[in-house]
Amino acid sequence: MPALIAALEGMLGTWLTQFLLGFTALAALITLNAMFMVWFERKVSAWVQGRLGPMEHGPQGTLQTLLDVIKLLGKEPIIPAKVDRTTFILAPVVAFLPALVLLSLLPYSEDLVFTNAESGILLVFAFGGVSLMGVFMGGWSSNNKYALLGGVRAVSQNIAYELPLLLSTMAVVLSAGTLNISKIVQVQTAGGFGWFFMYQPLALIIYIIAATAETNRAPFDIPEAESELVAGFHTEYPAMGFAVFFLAEYTYMFVVCGVGAALFLGGNHGPWLPGPCWFLIKVYFLLFLMVMFRWTFPRLRFDQLMDLAWKLLIPLSLANLMVTALVIKLV
């Protein structure tokens, strides 16, 4: 408590201004990122499939998403008759709410850090659990069998992949000796140490796979597998409800890639360009990888998905963690 008070005292003078500024910046980031990602994803998929993708509105169809947003805003928000009303309305909110907190945890540059939490990494994963609740609430309250199945799948998949995700980051945490994301970045930038993916290549691979699964992205998109479950947990959500779920998904992709970039790729560290640019470049490089996964890998069956997590990734990441601990102890 006294530590918190001291912290508050230090910033209370400019507290409100800072809060409002940060809030606005992050809200803008969420929207812009989602709009860019939708366009980006369409373009990449078109490129993979030898098509052109959206071309009509704006140069290279860049205004397409903006128009999509306007269309979604104009749609009637329908609440189906037999849904569990309160939960149905709350679900997208619960799924989206942690996104803002999570974005504020990323280290955009040395100076541009919204929240410098001592256990930053844990904070990211803890709040990820809150959004999982939102997804399952949506699936259950829709009163639709496809939606419910999607929700159940989301839970079992998220629980399974949370373990390798955490364990792979823990290897980095052990090497850096701190849970603070900014400090982990500092360790990498400090005199010639190098980025962590050089020391922890296995952890990076596990992290990317698990992160893809955590965000319910193809090839791990069975919670919303359209060929089996219509649209999974958000089947019944029209207009803005659907949009909010979508926004949350793209924000989480940004967050996991941001954490990945900070942990493994040196965060804002890089020559010539300013820090935030490097950070965004790295994040979008990882996001590009995730988009490529979606268009180049076939979707996993449910049992294959579980096998991959429990029988391969978890033992591997545990072994990686043990070896890391041993090396740190010996060196």
Partner 1 sequence: MPELSPETLLNAALGLLIVMTLAGAVLAVTLRKVFHNLLGFGLSVIGGAGVTLILGSEFVALMQLLIFLGGIAIAMVFAVMMSTPNEQAEEPRSAGAVIPAILLGLGFTALICWAMLDGNFPQSSPYVAEAWSVKNIGLLLLTDYELPFEAISILLLAAIIGSVLIARRTREPEPSEEADRG
Binding site for partner 1 (CB under 8 A): 1-5, 8-9, 12, 16, 82, 84, 87, 117-119, 122-123, 125-127, 129-130, 132-133, 136-137, 140, 143, 148, 152, 155-156, 158-159, 162, 179
Token pair for residue 102? 């999570």
CB of 291 to partner 1, least distance (A): 27
Residues 76, 36: Cα–Cα separation, whole Å: 25
Question: Quick check: 162 and 214 in contact, CB under 8 A?
Answer: yes
Question: Quick check: 240 and 77 in contact, CB under 8 A?
Answer: yes
CB of 183 to partner 1, least distance (A): 13
Residues 287, 252: Cα–Cα separation, whole Å: 11
Residues 211, 202: Cα–Cα separation, whole Å: 14
Backbone angles phi, psi at 113, to 5 degrees: -125, 120
Nearer to partner 1, 152 or 240 (CB): 152
Nearer to partner 1, 41 or 214 (CB): 214
Backbone angles phi, psi at 107, to 5 degrees: -90, 100
Nearer to partner 1, 179 or 318 (CB): 179
Nearer to partner 1, 119 or 296 (CB): 119
Contacting residues for 171 by C-beta, under 8 A, at least 6 apart: 200, 203, 317, 320, 321, 324
CB of 226 to partner 1, least distance (A): 22
Nearer to partner 1, 132 or 314 (CB): 132
CB of 140 to partner 1, least distance (A): 6
CB of 159 to partner 1, least distance (A): 6
